Chains A and B, each alone.
Chain A
């Protein structure tokens, strides 16, 4: 089955700096890659996603890149703010080819944005 690895497990940055979180996946059939933000005591919330026929996607301060050949994808947050502090999870699925969009998650990155 699919295996998703995520690094780093913790990341501390100064406010205004950029943060990068990286994930690798094992199943070349995976075609959908969402990123979730989870705040303490809450369920994960989708912040951005990318499908396998796209190499990069951007939404304001957040961007995701995908390298299908190397089977890795990354989350980039620019101009970080204290409210960006949370746990971020990457995930992968074969949802675009049917059979349900069950997600395989990475182990999470605790991002701390310091003032």
Chain B
């Protein structure tokens, strides 16, 4: 079946511009996560959506970052006024539920480069 898809696969933007990154989770998965992977670093949790509950935004690094999940499916991560330190691979993952050992399936990521 179809896995998690993300678009665009690559995005180059100028410092100060806004960007939107999209994630299409696996159909039927109620939980959705965004992570950031900087060069040579591990993955850093950003935000978590579970069903209709309020999202867990505890990992967002600044108020320039926001995300929404419409209709419990597609999610968009928005970065406003991008900075060079925002350059990273942004990974989305979904899981059947948000608890227990429900496996997180990752998308291929969006590589963001801020020039």
Contact = CB atoms under 8 A, between A and B. Distances in A.
Interface of A: 4, 6, 32, 34, 36, 41-46, 49, 51, 89, 91, 95-96, 98-108
Interface stretch (B11-19, B40-48, B61-69, B78-86): B40-48
B101 A51 contact: yes
Contact of B106 (A43, A95, A99): A43
B42 A95 contact: no
B99 interface: yes
Given A95-B99, A96-B100, A107-B42, 5 more contacts: A45-B106, A95-B101, A101-B99, A102-B59, A105-B43
Nearest to B50: A100
A82 B93 CA distance: 27
A44 B104 CA distance: 9
Interface of B: 4, 31, 33, 35, 40-45, 48, 50, 56, 59, 91, 93, 95, 98-109
A49 B101 contact: yes
Contacts of A34: 103-104
A44 B40 CA distance: 14
For the complex of A and B, the 8 pairs showing the least CB-CB separation, nearest first, are A43-B106, A105-B42, A105-B43, A107-B42, A100-B48, A102-B45, A100-B98, A44-B106
Contact of B108 (A43, A91, A104, A105): A43
Contacts of A106: 42
Given A43-B4, A101-B31, A102-B48, A108 B106 contact: no
A100 B46 CA distance: 13
A42 B108 contact: yes
Nearest to A31: B101
Contacts of B104: 34, 46, 101, 103
